[in-house]
Structure 1
Amino acid sequence: MKNTMQFPQPSAIALAVLALVAQSQAVAQDNVQKEIQQVVVTGTASASGTRKIDTSFSITTATEEQLKQAAPSSTADVLKIVPGVYAEATGGQSGANIEVRGFPSGSDSPFVSVQMNGNPIFPVPVLSFFEGSSAFRLDDTIERVEVLRGGPSTIYSSGQPGATMNFIMKKGGDEPEGSLRFTTGTGSLRRFDGVYSGKIADGWYGMIGGFYRTTNGVRDAGFPADDGGQLSASLTRKLDQGELTVYARSTSDKNAFYTGVPLISSNNGHTISSFPGFDPLRGTLMSNEMRNFTVEAGPGKTLTYDLGDGRGLSSNLVGADFQQKLNGWDVSNKFNYFKGDLNTIAMFTGNNPLSAADYVSQAITSANGNAAVVAAAGAPATSGAITYTNGGGTVAGNQQVVQAGLWAVEKKLRSFTDEFRVSKDIGNDNTITAGAYIANYSSHDVWYLGNSHLMTATPNARLIDVKLNNGAVVSRNGTDGNVFYAPIASYDGRNTAVFIADEWRINDRIKVDAGMRHEKQHISGSISNLTSVDPDNNALTVYNNGTSTPSGSFTGLSRDDTANSFTAGGLYKLTKDSSVFMRANQGHTFIYFDDLRNAGTQDVVNDRNRVPTPKVTQYEIGYKTATPLYSAYVNAFFTDFTGISFQQITTSGVLYSVSGSHGKGVEFELALRPLKGLQLQLTGDWQDSTYKDNPTIAGNQVQRQPKFQYRFSPSYRLPIGDYALRFYGTYSHIGARWADQQNTQYLPSYNTLDLGILAELSDKLEFRVTGTNVNNSLGLTEGNSRLVGASTGPINARPIFGRAWEASLTYRF
């Protein structure tokens, strides 16, 4: 007997599939149409922008709602939604380290520029104790963000060859609208956001908004981690075939800065576990006991600082954006003026944990090895007393202790930038753009680095005093180390650039463009010469011997550089809403103030001019498409660097090096909408970047950057009557990295899970709950950057934040 099986009719299967696809497409059509028609303005020749899908470069965008779903802990943390970028936002609101795929950087964010409305907030992306995201606070006055990677950015604005992060402010419209939002959460968070915009009079529109927030933070130091607020406003005048918008923002915000905590490293750094008694996800060494600390800056000169000030921002920003059509010409001008204090009053961990008994033993050896101390004491030490600074009492010999510097860096920044450009269609869809850019900026610094303090290796640590039996004082009021670097410096910079670009739409399918930029930079500075002193003229107080202090004389520094940048790209449209593109560019970064200082303090005549102007060459090839069922943005990249300078501030001084690198990889943004209300999104990158040109590290992996990282973000909208619930989440994988150029400090991979729910309660009311790192993953963003080489056993390193929750209620009107 023949065995047969019954299958549904092919026509029924086809009809079912077609019905499902048709349903998905109908639901997703509105959102996808917005995506397809979305216009971006960052990196485009025309000030009016270009459809995202028609750009021949890689750019990521996020709306206000997408930003809220990402639940960033800081401005830098926004970059976690961008493939090819790894942001170490574990320091808190400020002081992030941001790495761009294939771009070698050891700290801060030298290859990321932060803009508002197309203007760089500060034209230099990084200085010591400053990186661009520290000068910006995210709030509900922001409409969207655009993040351009590579592409034509080498010729526009500040000429950033890495990533340009452009925040676009809301403007007033014909219909008045506003919102009020209250947020609470982990760390006793209390935050109020508000914004209102609308029509003021015929042709006049306005927007005003801001926030105020206070929180103890996920890592509770016993005092507010973040305390402050911001007020922003804009005024728009509609013109005949044009528009003028002026805007202003004032920020006053104090933000605690978090560095490493005690951990246990084993298996050559491949396994990281908790230090006994210390929660690495929520703990911090900072405490009220050390909140107000003293810096002994010289004979008769003591200064008091507050750790609660952290890496804060006190600034004012004003700017304008003008666009106008004049007799076939598109004219655009953008300018801003920024002035602010971005001080760093923070703890920086030093040597790895050890027992109190071992610390005293090492202190005895060190003191007895110093002839001046032994002579002043009259005899070598044989023992020591170790007691708590507050409350007295002997510290047990097996108590684990650590050293951490309480540093103070006062930094006053000022800048003015202006970019003017004109564009004209000269026929046959060929548009020429020409422009000029100017930036004037300055930084005035007072530094006190070192100032080591001895404390227990416990959350909210206690300070410790140590005195040897021959009278030598190793630690007094917790202070066990001098200020080892205390320069006073003033720097000024001026950049001028001209650029020209040509964009030619050959036919409906092919578009090509090319451009070049010529830029000059002049920087100068005056930095104090330093000498070492004993502030109390007492050799027995060993904790302050050899204190660094200005000698009263200064060294003048200056340098002039000129560089050219190029870009060329092409786009071929496969269909109306899909395309492939190719791009090549050559860019540069100039020497910044700190490079000038580092070289000048070694050999003013020779080293200053031997530091090269860093150059980068990039090649990209990509594919873009967006349909109701799916969208895809995929880009392969190749990078080559020369002349990148690095600095590392260790427990004993500052190390410098120069090298190059080369890299390759693929980054991707993919989305699938298979069912009604459901979206599955996958973003990430794979890269292989290594050092070159420096024989001590050539062939090593570029530090801090994972070879592979991705974010899987599903979301589902469930209609309930006239309203809906939206469930969303993100599973993130960060691959293993090396913390240092020598590839000795291993940072294991880690995975985190974020969850959220948005409830539409009415036409005007919504409730949102978000949780980050809900799986309490222990992941490291850096090792002990104060030390060189690998360590096992007790270490200091900086982990990600533990589980945190936020709940917000928003009223729209």
Structure 2
Amino acid sequence: MKHLFLSAAIAPFLLMTPAHAESAQADGAMPTAGAKAKDEAVFSTGVAKGRSPLDSATSTSAFRADDIEVLGARSLGEVLRNIPGIRAEHAGREGNADYSIRGLPMSGNGSKYVQLQEDGLPVLEFGDISQFGPDMFLRSDLNLSQIETIRGGSASTFASNSPGGVINLLSKTGDVEGGAVQATMGLNYGEHRIDADYGYKLSDTLRMHIGGFYREGEGPRDVGFDAYKGGQIKVNVTKQLENGYVRIYGKWMDDRTPNYQDVPMLVTGSNSDPSFKSLAGFDIKDDSLISKYNSRLFATDASNKIREDDLRDGQHAKVKSIGLDSQFDVAGWSISEKFRFSDISGRNNALVPIAIAPAVALAFNYGGGPGATLSYATGPLAGQAINPLTLNGNGLLTSSVYTDVKANSLDNMTNDLRASRVWEMGGGELTTTVGFYASSQDIDTEWAFLNILTEVNGGGDTALVNVRSAGGVPTTQDGYISYGLGNGLYRRDYDMNYDVAAPYASLNYRFGKVAIGGSLRYDMGNVKGTLLGADLGGGRVGVASVDVNGNGSISLAESKTGVLPLNRPGKVDYDYDYLSYSTGVNYRIAESMAAFARYSRGGRASADKILFTPVINYDTGALLNSESAYDTVKQAEVGFKYRVSGVTLNITGFSAKTGERNVQVNSLPDGSIRVENIIRGYKAKGVELEAIVRHGPFSVNAGATYTDAEITSDPTNTNFIGNTPRHQADLIFSVTPQFEMKWATVGANIVGTTDSYAQDTNQLKLPGYTLVNAFVQVRPTERVQLMFNVNNLFDETAVVNVLQASMPANGVVLGRANNGRTISGTLRYGF
């Protein structure tokens, strides 16, 4: 496979002959939306060859850097929720958000059917690698020129593992000289951040761009320490040639962010009309169970030796990448070559509640019966007795899990070689494209899940709690119930590699006002590796007695320490292949409008979500059922596009059918949390709308998606058939009106959703919400800008996830809400 990469990377340089110059877009040079120039703007993501949106049978959007700036987004998810057709569930955290497009299921975590790209190549080959989503390794900063997105359409044939669509973050490349430096401060929360970028033309044919950021601070939630710390630097150099261009680029990233998880919250009312509120002593919009008092993690390493880690490391992303982007015109052919190698590693630590109950009940449960006592295990009150009835004013404890997941290697090597040519034929233009894509994705990770007991206390003061039996015998150790889960559940080691090779081709014939096209892609995957863990079954043991604290004796918690069965690895060794296709027709009704129709079938390889499940023979490594190797998405689209000066309108009707194999976190009927393997079918239909209006100093950008989705098959839970998938609202929307004057700009960004169901049982509802984010920019001089952003202006409670399927008798659930009101100020100097 590596020889394929090298051969593909070298080939274009053997063909250089004089022709035309680079056709890449300038930095931030997407013409003003709605202007006449918009029709000539080239859109290149997920299509055979860049062309005007009005001449393409696809549903696309381009989000410029200026559009992103006014949002005051604290994370990439807060940016992407403003793009029509995209459903983004981020709950205020940066990284490991969930993304879907047009009603495609979000039954698990990550972005299974959507590929996140950076400069035209995937960040990770699979968008839903367990514990490590691609957005964990992406940041929005001054390097960003624009975001291009394609929903459905040819995304299934011009990228692997992306039948739903592609989200592509494009970097500035030095087309525009100059740069900026800006400082941002959280005015009611802890953040200090500095951004800078600079583009420069070294000569008439050589240019460069460099930029990055560094930040640190507690963040929008009270955790008691600097949960955000780190940054990134990106640089690229472009050489313009007579017949094209060559660009080399690099990225260095080392950034740490908190992993906000579900927290306890009160629910009153009924399943169909619930009201979610904060507990006494704990605010669901501003607090987290993460704390400086519960940060020490003890687990066994890959050799079953004790290691100590720190929960405060959170989502720690490390990336070192180098890439090549080139394009040449050779004998009438346009040849492009993209290559990147990324050295990716990091850690994802989290505190995940799995049960919430009165302290009295958990003392009884873990203390062996009546008379058990509680005391603080950590924090300034360590050793002091606890009155379970008055604890923090809410009287609650959680049985929680420390998830300590280390990524030794998520290294990704990717190459995409493509050649296109336009032929004059029969009074029209025939565009032919052939290409070959190859990638190699490592998944080398270590998992340790540990069971702890915590109080429910806000302000970053949550501490661990110890239990003693009525006879005074400790049943926990330093707040640990056990140094593992069950019989070693989720004490795992993955050492996997996924190779993908995919030839693809397309034809597009344009004659008069009509363009007809089709494309094919054939994905071939090779999966090899080994697994360690008691979850594999077959008599493997994943628990042992280990002297964690080194005091020479074994406590009850230490007798339940998770270990790897090092002498019983499981083997994975299988191949798969599938065909994707897409065909469409575009009719240019007039200069300002067009209509299109398209049908597509795309695939998505199952990747690590089928590991540690019964679909693989771990003695031979073979798949027991070839259908488990990938899932398919079939989509139909009909759309209308309209452009006149000051107005842009896109309307697309869609229908999709999806086969799904995934891992879902939900609740059992008693309210306890489980991880369930699911095999399902889904269908969805709806309408997607994008509108941009500009008139003088006033403009408004709006997007909305109406979706009617249902579960069509589930052999395990047949009663779910006909239900609406969890979290799928009928309507999601965003509206951004603004008024721009010479010296100032004011506006608001409004995002919202209607009701949805917490789980697939369709019992407990998540109420719809509307969040208003306000911004004002003041420009006292040409080079200076002062900006204030207020996210969640009215401090609304927006619940985005609840693990329980219905209201429990005690009225306490585990869920997540968006952050409360946050205010930031930014001072920028341009040069």
| TM-score computed with the length of structure 1 as normaliser | 0.89
Conserved 8 A contact 2:544-2:562: no
CA distance in 1 between counterparts of 2:750 and 2:666 reads 34
Residue deviations 1:483-536, cap 9 Å, x none? Answer: 1221112001111111110111111x1111111111101112201143143424
Q: Alpha-carbon deviation of 1:471? A: 5.0
State the number of aligned residues.
759
Q: Which residue of 1 aligns with 2:492?
A: 487
Which residue of the partner structure matches residue 802 of structure 1?
820
Distance 2:673 2:279 in 1: 25
> 1:711 is matched with which residue?
734
Q: Report the Cα distance in structure 2 between the residues aligned to 1:662 and 1:619, rounded to whole angstroms.
A: 12
Asked whether the equivalents of residues 670 and 683 of structure 1 are also in contact (C-alpha less than 8 Å), the reply is yes
Which residue is equivalent to 1:12?
none
- Alignment correspondent of 1:357: 360
Q: Is the 8 A contact 1:407 1:451 kept in 2?
A: no
* 1:743 matched to 2:750: no
Please state whether the residue corresponding to 1:153 is helix, strand or coil: helix
The corresponding residue for 1:374 is: none
Match of 2:25 in 1: none
Contact 1:101 1:705 in 2 (8 A): no
Please state how far the C-alpha of 1:421 moved relative to its aligned partner. 0.9
1:687 to 707, 711, 719: 707
Residue of structure 2 equivalent to 1:5: none
The secondary structure found in structure 2 opposite 1:581 is: strand
Question: For residue 614 of structure 1, what is the aligned residue in structure 2?
Answer: 631
What code does the residue aligned with 2:829 have?
Answer: Y
Give, as a single letter, the amino acid of the residue that structure 1 aligns with 2:789.
Answer: T
**Deviation at residue 726 of structure 1 after TM alignment:** 0.9
Alignment of 1:177-256 (within 5 A): 177-185=178-186, 186-256=188-258
The answer (yes or no) to whether the contact 1:612–1:643 under 8 Å persists in 2 is no
> Where does 1:503-518 land on structure 2 (aligned, <5 Å)?
503-507=508-512, 509-518=513-522
Which of the numbers 590, 594, 603 marks the counterpart of 2:609?
594
Q: 1:300 to 1:139 in 2, by over 3 A?
A: closer
Are the counterparts in 2 of residues 312 and 342 from structure 1 also a CA contact under 8 Å? yes
Once the two structures are superposed, the pairs formed by residues 73-84 of structure 1 within 5 Å of their partners are: 73-84=74-85
Partners in 2 of 1:652 and 1:804 — Cα distance? 31
Aligned position for 1:24: none
**1:617-655 deviation digits (Å, cap 9, x = unpaired):** 000011111222422111110001124333438777632
User: Is 1:146 equivalent to 2:148 in the alignment?
Assistant: yes
Summarize the Cα distance change of 1:280–1:645 in structure 2 as closer, same or farther, 3 Å threshold: closer
Identity %, equivalent residues: 21
The 1:255/1:273 distance shift into structure 2, 3 A limit, reads: same
CA distance in 2, matches of 1:272, 1:298: 42
Tell me, in whole angstroms, the C-alpha distance in 1 between the residues paired with 2:533 and 2:147. Answer: 43
Which has the higher mean CA deviation after the structures are superposed, 445-454 or 470-479? 470-479
- Structure 2 distance, partners of 1:29, 1:202, is 27
CA deviation digits over 1:267-304, x for unaligned, max 9? 23421112122111111111111123323679984322
Matched, 1:426 2:423: yes
Residues 501 and 601 of structure 1: is their aligned pair in 2 closer, same or farther, counting only changes over 3 Å? closer
Larger radius of gyration: 1
- Give the structure 1 partner of residue 642 of structure 2: 625
Secondary structure in structure 2 of the residue aligned to 1:469? coil
User: 1:608 and 1:788, CA in 2 relative to 1: closer, same or farther beyond 3 A?
Assistant: farther
- Distance (Å, rounded) in 2 between the aligned partners of 1:522 and 1:67: 39
Preserved CA contact (<8 Å) 1:406 1:453 = no
After alignment, is 411-420 or 297-306 more displaced? 297-306
Q: How does 1:510-589 map to 2 (within 5 A)?
A: 510-530=514-534, 531-536=541-546, 541-552=555-566, 553-589=568-604
Aligned mates of 2:497, 2:701 — CA distance in 1: 45
Q: Secondary structure at the match of 2:612?
A: helix
Q: Find the aligned partners of 1:189 and 1:803 in 2 and give their Cα distance.
A: 14
Q: Does 1:395 align with 2:392?
A: no
Residue in structure 1 matched with residue 7 of structure 2 by the alignment:
none
How much does 1:665 deviate? 0.5
Question: How far does residue 745 in structure 1 lie from its aligned partner after superposition?
Answer: 4.1
| Superposition map of 1:402-413 within 5 A | 402-411=398-407, 412-413=409-410
Paired AA for residue 549 in structure 1: V
Letter of the structure 1 residue corresponding to residue 59 of structure 2:
S
Q: Summarize the Cα distance change of 1:534–1:677 in structure 2 as closer, same or farther, 3 Å threshold.
A: same
SS in 1 for 2:611: helix
1:538-569 CA deviation, whole Å, 9 max, x = no partner? 99944344433111120101221110011011
Counterpart residue type for residue 618 of structure 1: Q
Paired residues of 1:402 and 1:456 also in contact (CA < 8 A): yes
Aligned partners of 1:45 and 1:294: how far apart in 2?
51
User: Higher mean Cα deviation, 111-120 or 320-329?
Assistant: 111-120
- Equivalent position SS for 2:710: strand
Decide whether the 8 Å contact of 1:589 with 1:613 is kept in 2: yes
| 8 A contact 2:493–2:531 mirrored in 1 | yes
User: What residue identity is the alignment partner of 2:653?
Assistant: A
Question: 1:446-457 to 2 correspondence within 5 Å?
Answer: 446-457=446-457
Q: 1:769 aligns with which of 785, 788, 797?
A: 788
Deviations along 1:417-471, one digit per CA (max 9) or x if unpaired, are 1111111122231111011110111111110023333323444312211110245
Q: Match of 1:736, as an amino acid?
A: D
Checking the alignment, whether the CA contact within 8 Å between 1:453 and 1:481 is kept in structure 2 is no
- Which of 680, 689, 693 is matched with 1:668 structurally? 689
Change (3 A) 1:601 1:301: farther
Q: Tell me: CA distance 1:434–1:536, structure 2 relative to 1, closer, same or farther (3 Å).
A: closer
Cα distance change on mapping 1:600 and 1:641 into 2, 3 Å: closer
Instruction: Answer whether contact 2:353 2:400 (CA < 8 A) is retained.
Output: yes
**1:788 offset after TM fit, Å?**
6.3
- Contact 1:383/1:469, CA 8 A, preserved across alignment: yes
TM-score by length of 2: 0.87
Q: Find the aligned partners of 1:298 and 1:506 in 2 and give their Cα distance.
A: 62
Number of the residue aligned with 2:104 = 103
Distance 2:400 2:616 in 1: 26
CA distance in structure 2 between the partners assigned to 1:597 and 1:416 by the alignment: 25
1:76 alignment partner, SS class: helix
8 Å CA contact 1:557–1:597 kept in 2: the answer is no
Gap change, CA 1:30 and 1:561, over 3 Å in 2: closer
Q: Secondary structure of the residue that 2:135 maps to in structure 1?
A: helix
2:610 aligned counterpart, secondary structure: helix
- Change in CA separation of 1:550 and 1:339 when aligned onto 2, cut-off 3 Å: same
- In structure 1, runs of 5+ residues without a counterpart are 1-27, 368-380
Q: Distance in 2 between matches of 1:397 and 1:116?
A: 51
Distance of 2:452 and 2:491 partners within structure 1: 14
| Contact kept? 1:305, 1:345, Cα under 8 Å | no
CA distance in 2: counterparts of 1:540 and 1:198, whole angstroms = 64
For 1:268-279, list aligned pairs within 5 A. Answer: 268-269=270-271, 270-279=274-283
How far apart, CA to CA, are the structure 2 residues paired with 1:141 and 1:297?
A: 38
1:525, 1:593 within 8 Å by CA — same for their partners in 2?
A: no
- Measured on the aligned residues, the alpha-carbon RMSD in Å equals 2.3
Residue aligned with 2:78, SS: helix
Q: Distance in 2 between matches of 1:280 and 1:576?
A: 52
Q: Are 1:614 and 1:643, in contact at CA under 8 Å, matched by a contact in 2?
A: yes
Greater CA deviation, 78-87 or 790-799?
790-799
Alpha-carbon deviations, 1:375-400, whole Å to 9, x = none?
A: xxxxxx54212111242222112122
Query: What is the match of residue 507 of structure 2?
Result: 502
C-alpha change, 1:203 and 1:680, in structure 2 (3 Å) is closer
For the 8 Å contact 1:216–1:222, the answer to whether it is kept is: yes
Give the Cα–Cα distance (whole angstroms) in 2 for the partners of residues 359 and 433 of structure 1. 64
